[in-house]
A = this chain, B = another copy of it.
Amino acid sequence: MSLVVVGSVAYDGVETPHGKVDRMLGGAATYISMAASYFVPVKLVGVVGDDFAPEDAALLASRQVDLEGLERVAGGRTFFWQGVYSADMNDRATLRTDLNVFADFNPKLPESYRSEPHLFLGNIQPALQKNVRGQMRGLKLTGGDTMNYWINDFRGELLETIREWDFLLINDSEARLLSGEQNLRRAATRILDMGPHTLVIKRGEYGAILFRRGMHFMAPGYLLETVFDPTGAGDCFAGGFIGYLAGRGVGASGGAVDAAELRRAVIYGSVMGSFCCERFGLDRFRTLRRDEIDARYQEFLNCTAF
């Protein structure tokens, strides 16, 4: 039983106060898959050009991420993003976005992917997310994220899409934009009326809040001594969240999900997001071990229990 992850695979150029990398493996689907791979086998769906390096495919394969669904477009180039972070790393400016082969991404799932029970739909055009979901049979748990561009300019299409999801995972500004409510508790109530029975609102360094009808759960962000590079932290949160649930075989039958498992999934999300920030790009995952993840989970318990 595997988790299917759909989204961007990219090369990133990143500058933070701690250094600069001109080109490194990135993309939402990459971060989500790497983080989730500690909990469950992952099958990735994405697109790259023929500049996609064998060592990058090897890094994913080293974490047992299945790449049969990674389309390679001959003569095309991989999505490239370049950005620079502010001194406190709470803001970033995009210097360059070359969509390249990602502009025509139209995910077709390999037959071997279609009967998997867990699906995470990374941030791509909502109609494509909907189409991917339609290619799956026997899903037990489906969710994903989105961004302000789709919320603003593809609202109808987005609402059609998330109506079928079990969970939506977005950040606080996106939740405000989607709901039209400034207050997060009211925003959550509105969004839970749009279809998903579970909503996770990410708040960056301040952690995340899980909402279901009539309950919520608040997880703090891990207090790192040094944030090297926040790129991908939100996607690693998503990977830890859905990876944990998929690994535990958690499903949603008529909206009924084990709430205790959802709480633990949020903590594992925070754990994976925190590790991501400790090195540039995906570097932390080259050495990270499962026992380090469980030790940090225990740290979360210790620093929140009263």
Interface of A with B (CB < 8 Å)?
Answer: 87-88, 182-186, 203, 206-207, 209, 215-220, 223-227, 260, 263-264, 266-267, 301-306
Contact = CB atoms under 8 A, between A and B. Distances in A.
A183 B217 CA distance: 26
Contacts of A306: 217, 219, 260, 263-264, 266-267, 301, 304
A305 B207 CA distance: 15
Contact of A217 (B88, B226, B304): B304
A216 B223 contact: yes
Contacts of A305: 263, 305
Given A185-B224, A207-B220, A215-B303, 8 more contacts: A87-B182, A183-B226, A203-B206, A206-B206, A209-B223, A216-B223, A304-B306, A305-B305
A263 B207 CA distance: 19
Q: Which of A88, A264, A304: most chain B Cβ within 10 A?
A: A304
A303 B217 contact: yes
A202 to B, nearest CB: 13
Contacts of A87: 182
B223 A303 contact: no
A285 B298 CA distance: 38
Contacts of A224: 183, 185
Given A264-B306, A301-B306, A218 B216 contact: no
A182 B203 CA distance: 19
A67 to B, nearest CB: 34
A128 to B, nearest CB: 33
A248 to B, nearest CB: 14
A304 B218 contact: yes
A304 B226 CA distance: 25
A303 B216 contact: yes
A267 B306 CA distance: 8
8 contacts: A186-B225, A203-B206, A209-B223, A215-B302, A217-B304, A217-B306, A218-B303, A263-B306
B220 A185 contact: no
Contacts of A216: 223, 303
A180 to B, nearest CB: 14
